[in-house]
A and B are shown apart, each in its own frame.
Chain A
Amino acid sequence: NAGVTQTPKFQVLKTGQSMTLQCAQDMNHEYMSWYRQDPGMGLRLIHYSVGAGITDQGEVPNGYNVSRSTTEDFPLRLLSAAPSQTSVYFCASSRGQRAFFGQGTRLTVV
């Protein structure tokens, strides 16, 4: 069972570069979310999706874009990376009472 797969696991970007964090799930879940985790803090919701073609903003959406063209995939795009976006990013998919998390992407912006 693959569950929720995030790629890459690690990434270093220069300020101003763009990149896409990939997230795929094979559980046919309707709902998917992106969170960031910073040291000493809980996760913060960036964007979420309630189905293919439907996305919405979470607590900290600025600087990030998402799209949901298929049920399986929910990529997160950083348009112009900033040092403040250095963080660990988690993707989650859910249905009903449980959310399943990917292994995370550790992103450093220099």
Chain B
Amino acid sequence: ELKVEQNPLFLSMQEGKNYTIYCNYSTTSDRLYWYRQDPGKSLESLFVLLSNGAVKQEGRLMASLDTKARLSTLHITAAVHDLSATYFCAVDIGDSNYQLIWGAGTKLIIKP
């Protein structure tokens, strides 16, 4: 059975601190995505990681993919309150984003 496991599931941190969210998966897929969801809202695409060693950065967020370890990380640098949200990783078991298997999400709260 394909599993996508995120940890931690809940993270409360102070502004200005750094932290990393981990996403482990059990399939051989090399396509992994990170999404953000605000409460009561839809999902917003953050990063698309399509090969081993891929690294993408946007502002204070950086995502990486190690397909050999079946591990992706989402690193937050100098967190700010606006980054408070739930972050999901999703593995593509198809070939064009229509068969995504999702982690349970990491609820991130950043306190001023």
**Residues on A close to B: CB < 8 A?**
30-33, 35, 40-45, 48-50, 58-59, 90, 92, 94-104
* Chain B interface residues toward A at CB < 8 A: 4, 6, 9, 33, 41-43, 45, 48, 50, 88, 90, 94, 96-105
Residues of A within 8 A of B9 (CB): 40
Between A and B, 13 residue pairs with Cβ closer than 8 Å are A31-B98, A32-B98, A33-B98, A42-B88, A42-B103, A43-B88, A43-B90, A90-B43, A97-B97, A99-B45, A99-B98, A103-B41, A104-B42
Given the known inter-chain contacts A98-B48, A101-B42, A103-B42, please indicate yes or no for A45 contacting B100, CB distance below 8 A.
yes
Instruction: Give the distance in Å from the alpha carbon of A48 to the alpha carbon of B33 in the complex.
Output: 18
Instruction: Give Cα A81–Cα B50 distance, bound, in whole angstroms.
Output: 38
Known: A42-B105, A43-B102. A94 touches B97 (CB 8 A): yes
Complex: how many Å from CA A54 to CA B95?
A: 16
